[in-house]
Amino acid sequence: MSGSTHAAGAGTARASQGRRWLSAAGLVALSVGCILLVWPRFLGAERAVAVAQVISFRPGIVIGFGVLAAVAVVLVVFLALRRRRIAWAGAAAVVILLATTVGNALVLADRGWAEGDVSARGSADSITVLSWNTQGGATTAAEVAELAARTRADIVALPETDDVAAAEIAHLLTERGVRMNAQTTGEWIPTSLLVSERLGGYRHEVAAGSTPGLPSGVWVPQGGGSGSRGSMPTIVVAHPMPPLPSSMQAWRDGLDWVAQQCRIRGPEVVIAGDFNATLDHLPATPGCSDAARATGAAGWGSWPATAPSWFAAPIDHILVGEAWRTVAFQVVNSDQEGSDHRAIVAVLER
């Protein structure tokens, strides 16, 4: 009888120890998950599959983990009242869930939701940059021209816009008294650029290459603008591949190409477009600053346009070289149906 009792006790102890090890492993996994979702760069995982996609929607993480934390609190309290003791593993899980929630909320708060006024131009040397992924014509030429005229854009970056649409936009702007030159690169899902004549002529630098899979381009000034040659920026319109499981490496290579343009194009560079990446994913870009981040407006998202801008992913960007200071930045909300991207606008001042 005593032997049976001893064996039963030993079995219970082993089961209890197994539960403790399982709880410990679960807490470790939850802690690693917390780090990945709050500070993925610490583990070098910001561009890893799954992590890259999830951290694009930090507001969703805040909401989801906030709900999980609330449910966990209720369960821990319920079990504590029932068993008259605290389940420390459960309490630790609550702390980790809350840390994930608060950590992401702090990241978003740091990036900010400032409301910029892009309607007012600064000095004579200031320029306005508009970027809009038109989703292959889902946004009409008239809509682009209207926004470009309203914001008095000098540079209009248009991923997924072909040469026919770009020429029509330029024509519509000419009718409004705004003269811009249009150029296009790529045939499959092309990328277009419109530049105000006041900035002078621009030439597509074919030797600069492109992002893999989707066309990006570098345009260099040729002179003839109203300002000095040194005041005209090198313009890069960027459109890296989206981070789909089948195109992750092409996406990473595209982001590295963007970072390279920041390093080699000098302080006048302006890079705009659909990066298919948030600030979390962008590699170090020495020589460039993000216009939204600089103005405390990087919390607003541009994709998808059907989601509220406070929830959407901020994957469209305007990066500027050290010669420029961002005066204002805005993610443009519109009631019009069309592209799955919102337009973004930045006013830059020397």
**Lowest mean pLDDT across 16-25, 75-84, 276-285, 313-322:** 16-25
Q: What is the pLDDT of residues 212-248, one digit of tens each?
A: 999 999 999 997 766 544 468 999 999 999 999 999 9
Q: Which residue is associated with the tokens 């040194």?
A: 230
Q: Average pLDDT of 332-342?
A: 87
Q: What is the pLDDT of residues 290-322, one digit of tens each?
A: 999 999 999 999 999 999 999 999 999 999 999
Q: Is 39 left (phi over 0), alpha (psi -120 to 50) or beta?
A: beta
Q: Average pLDDT of 145-152?
A: 96
Q: Average pLDDT of 10-26?
A: 69
Model pLDDT, residue 117: 86
* Structural domains of the chain, with CATH: 2-111 (no CATH), 127-349 (3.60.10.10)
Give the rounded percent of residues in the chain with a pLDDT score beyond 70.
90
Q: What is the pLDDT of residues 76-128, one digit of tens each?
A: 998 888 876 667 888 999 999 999 999 999 999 999 999 888 987 667 789 99
Name the residue among 117, 110, 178 with its Cα closest to residue 346: 117
Q: If you write DSSP's letter for every residue of 47-67 in order, what string do you get?
A: TSTTHHHHGGGHHHHHHHHHH
pTM for this predicted structure: 0.91
Distance CA 157, CA 166 (A): 10
Distance CA 307, CA 333 (A): 11
**Please, what is the average pLDDT of the chain?**
91
Per-residue burial over 114-142, b if 16 or more Cβ lie within 10 Å, else e, is: eebebeebeeeebbbbbbbbbbeeebbbe
Model pLDDT, residue 65: 97
Half-sphere exposure of 247 (CA within 13 A, CB side): 14
- Give the number of other CB atoms < 10 A from CB of residue 59: 18
